[in-house]
Amino acid sequence: MNIEKIINLIQGKIFSNNDNWMFTLAIDGPSASGKSTLARLTSKSIKKSSIVHVDDFYKTSTQRKNQITNNNLHGMAFDLERLKQQALNPIALKKSANYQTYNWTVDRLTDIRIIQPVGLIIVEGIYSLRQDLQNYYDFKIRLEVPKKPCEERVLERDRVGIGNYHNWKNDYRPAEEQYVKLQNPGNSADLVLTTFG
């Protein structure tokens, strides 16, 4: 399915003549599967839209200490409770969400993001379709991109200095595979894509 068809499908789900409408969309998938790209392109096509990145809720190295191993419980590197309390719960109550974002360069929470509860709100990131988060969304998309294309994208990011292949291979990907095995996010998605573009 190409990006135009995906956006048309989403627009068809959220069409509203009400200025105060709100529609919450989740985009889940493995690292480097195209979640952020799909979220950005979808957001650009909708007049009122905001994106909540699950990556903004990554834990600091102090918080993650001794958590990431090959036996990692999926999502432990992310503060998903903070995602719920500071973003998803307020949005569900039609209140503004205010939260600090994780800064990958300095390994701490820095900028404050404010998400108004109007328009299309996209929650984009791995673990966004965990069973305990699914009731927050009006529509759920799961990208099920094979490992090889994701690995190639991570390697390309590594080459330009914005990736970390070692961590992806040894920590992130095994945790993501565990997430799929235990939570089966594709099973609860309204739309599953193996690729787009």
Please state the domain extents for the chain.
3-193
Cα separation of 92 and 188, whole Å? 19
The pLDDT value given to residue 58: 92
Cα separation of 13 and 31, whole Å? 26
| Percent of the chain surpassing pLDDT 90 | 51
The pLDDT value given to residue 161: 65
- The DSSP string of the chain is --HHHHHHHHHHHH--S-TT-EEEEEEE-STTSSHHHHHHHHHHHSSSEEEEEGGGGBPPHHHHTTT-STTPPTTTTB-HHHHIIIIIHHHHTT--EEEEEEETTTTEEEEEEEE-SSEEEEEESTTTT-TTTGGG-SEEEEE---HHHHHHHHHHHHHTTS--HHHIIIIIHHHHHHHHHHH-HHHH-SEEES---
3-193 has which fold? Rossmann fold (3.40.50)
Query: What's the pTM value of the predicted model, to 2 decimals?
Result: 0.87
* Chain position carrying tokens 């998903």: 80
| Percent of the chain surpassing pLDDT 70 | 87
* Chain position carrying tokens 């390697």: 155
Task: Return the top range by mean pLDDT from 73-77, 88-92, 185-189.
Answer: 88-92
The pLDDT value given to residue 197: 45
The mean per-residue pLDDT over the stretch 51-64 comes to: 91
